[in-house]
Amino acid sequence: MRKKFVLILPLMFFAFTSLCQNLNPAPEDKAVVYFVRTSSTGFAINFSYFDSTKLIGVFNGPKYIRYECEPGQHLFWARSENRDFVEAELEAGKIYFIEAIVKMGAIKAAVELRPVNTDDSKKMEKIFKLLNKKPSESFTEEELRNETIRLESAIERGLEKYREEKGSGVIIPKLSKSMYYKGN
C-alpha cells in the first residue's frame, strides 16, 4: 500500500502542475520571476517589490506578480515595515519563484523573501493553486512611475540598508541559476 502511495504522489503533482493555467513559458531571451504571496495573513498590508532601484509592483496578499527581466545578476527586495533582500543569478528562458512571507512586525506586518526550491512539491502546489485562482497583478508604466517618485527616498534607504547588511556580514538569501522551475 505504501509503495502505491509513493508512486501516486509524484503523478498527482505532475498532473496538478500541468494544469497550471497562469504559468506561461519564459521568453527565450528573458528570465521570469514570480513574486508570490500565498498566505492571507496580514492581507491588508501592501508589500512593495523591487529589482534594485526599479519598482516591480505593490500589492497585498494573497496575490502574485510575474516579472520578466534580463538574465544575470539581480538584487530583489521587498519593503513593508522592514526590508528584505534576495540576491539572484538568473538564466534566460527560465522561470523562478520568490515567496513573500508575512512576519509579525512592531507596528504592521513585516516581509521576508524566500527563494523557492521548485522541487518542493507541497510548496509548488500552494503556488500553483494561487496562480490558478487569479491572474498576475499588473501595473501601467504611469502607475509604476508615480509610485517610484513617491517612494524615491524609501528606495535610497532600502539600498543603503542592503549595503549595511552586506557590509556587516548578514547572509542574504540567494536565488541561483539552478533553482528554476523544471516542470512542463
| Three-class secondary structure of residue 137 per DSSP | coil
Beta bridge partners of 98: 35, 115
Pair 55, 77: CB distance under 8 Å: no
Q: How confident is the model at residue 7 (pLDDT cuts 50, 70, 90)?
A: very low
- pLDDT for residue 107 is more than 80: no
Out of 9-13, 33-37, 65-69, 163-167, least confident range: 9-13
This model's pTM is above 0.85: yes
* Tens digits of residue pLDDT in 151-183: 999 999 999 999 999 999 999 999 999 999 998
Give the pLDDT mean for 74-88: 97
Determine the pLDDT at residue 108.
Answer: 75
Q: How confident is the model at residue 32 (pLDDT cuts 50, 70, 90)?
A: very high
163 C-beta neighbours (distance < 10 Å), count: 9
Beta strands (DSSP E) in the chain are: 31-37, 47-51, 54-59, 63-69, 72-79, 83-90, 95-103, 110-115, 174-175
Give the pLDDT mean for 18-23: 66
Q: How confident is the model at residue 11 (pLDDT cuts 50, 70, 90)?
A: very low
Q: How far apart are CA 59 and CA 55, in angstroms?
A: 12
Pair 133, 25: CB distance under 8 Å: no
Nearest CA to 133 among 51, 22, 39? 22
Residue extents of the structural domains in the chain: 2-179
Pair 14, 77: CB distance under 8 Å: no
CA dihedral 160, 55, 25, 28 (to 10 degrees): -70
